[in-house]
Structure formats: structure tokens, C-alpha cells
Amino acid sequence: MMGRLVFAAATSHVGAIVKNAHADPDVSAALHTAWEELDEDIAAAEPDAVVVVATDHYETFGLENYPSFCLGLAEEHQGWGEFGNPAPTVRGRPDIAARLLAGLTERGFEAARSHTMRLDHSFTVPLTKLPSAARTGIVPLFVNCNTEPLPTLRRCYDLGRALAATTRALPGGTRVGVLATGGLSHWVGLPRFGEINERFDRELLALLEQGRAEDVLDWSDDHITGAAGNGALELRTWLLAAGAAGGPARVYAYRPMPAWTVGIGISGFEIAEEAS
């Protein structure tokens, strides 16, 4: 029996989601409701493991060793708890992670591996909001979204496609979900900190809803940072999820959230027949 990709989703991950959860309650309430709905859908998909696709903010990786992609193969993954962010200990799925690593290598993606990989807020905040994914057990997949040279958008999308193909080759009907985290528009450590480009965010989400993720792949990093900030470079994780799923997005919710300094998006993706 072949493995199956049973869900793919993407969400923003800013720490204020949990540290200042009820800021601007007229807006944030709809977002919390959307996370609850997504969490119910993750539970209903009954995954055996969730590949959490996120980045890092110089907690786990530094300039002495900064990979483009890295899979975590630990039995447990400890959160850093940096700056008051969540610091859970999350169960890993090293058996599934090892098979995914081997399959991705066969398909031309020599991701690094870590047997001691810790998690910053880009992993722990979404897992706090989506406890069904955390309970399942995770395979953390780090993507470099902030330290040049970055993997191209197309490379990240193609990695998602390779991840889906690798999942289908897993033995025993293994059920895998993909949860991407990052973005949307925001400026980090720059004079425009706190700004949000709602137009950019909605354009991106509309393309994903129309199943046109490939239209985004030729966007330059200069265009992205100029229009939506250096934090929007994290849309690489969304494109990886879109590549894995192969189908259009469903947007659970989008709100510009100045109180959290980020455009917050929460989306799922339809799993195309060839990806399932």
C-alpha cells in the first residue's frame, strides 16, 4: 500500500499570535476561529506525521552552518522559547523523517539532517494554534528564508512536488500532512516595521486560490521585499506546500493585523489526485 499526502496547509507564524492573542479582538477573533477550523480538518485527515515547513531566526542555525533545507530526525524537538514564545517539547517522527530524507535525495534534493534540531517560533507558534498537528508527531523541515543566497521560489515549489512524490512511495499506507508557516507581508528590523501590504497579500492568495502558484515562481526577491517586506520572503514555505498539494488553495481567513505587525493568512490546499 502506497503512502498518501492527506492535507497541505499554510499559516502565518508571528509570535504575537500567542503572546498578544486578543489584540484587536474584532479582527483577531476571526483568525482564531479559522485556526480552530483548520485544526479540526487536520485531525479529520488522520495523518501519521506532519511535515512542518518553516524557517529559523538564528536560534538553531548560525553562520557557521546555514543550510538551504534541513530535516529534523529527533525523537523529540524542543522549542527555544525565545523572547517569550512557546517552548513546547514536540514528538518527532524520525522513522518517517529518515525515509523522506532518503526519498528526497533520490529525487535530487540533498537536504541536510539534524538529530538535535530545536524549534523557534516559526514552528512552535503554529503548533500551539494547531494542536492536532503537534499530537500527531512532526518532521520539521527548515527552509532558508532570510540569509542569502536563498533557494529560489521555483526550487522550493519543486521541493514540495518531490515531497509529495516521496510520500507516495512510503510503505504501509503512511499518511503525511504538510503544514507551511511564514509571512505574509511584514518588515522585520527595518524602518517600515509594522507596515502591511494588504494588496500584495490578497494578490498572492488570489493566485493560490486560482491554482496559479506557478505564476508566483518568477517573482524576484527584490520585488517581494520592496512590495511586502523581508518577512514576505517566507512565502517560500507556502509555495512548497502548494507544490506538494498540486491543487488550488482555500483561504480560511485573511486579515491585515497591525497589532501583530503582519498580514495574517490561513489557508489549506486541495490535494490533486496525482499528489494523494
Q: Are strands 246-257 and 89-91 parallel, antiparallel or unpaired?
A: unpaired
- Annotated active-site residue in 22, 57, 121, 223: 121
Using alpha carbons only, give the angle 253, 230, 79 rounded to the nearest 5 degrees.
70
- Asked if residue 68 lies in contact with residue 143, where contact means CB atoms within 8 angstroms, the answer is yes
Longest dimension (CA), the chain: 54
Q: Is 115 a catalytic residue?
A: no
- Annotated active-site residue in 32, 57, 186, 223: 186
d(CA 252, CA 38): 8
d(CA 262, CA 228): 10
Q: What is the DSSP letter of 269?
A: E
DSSP string spanning 136-156?
Answer: H-EEEEEE--SSSSPPPHHHH
8 by DSSP, 3-state: which?
strand
Q: Is 22 a catalytic residue?
A: no
- Asked if residue 258 lies in contact with residue 185, where contact means CB atoms within 8 angstroms, the answer is no
Please return the burial class of 218, using the count of CB atoms within 10 Å of its CB with bins 0-12, 13-18 and 19+. exposed
Active site residue ranges = 121, 186
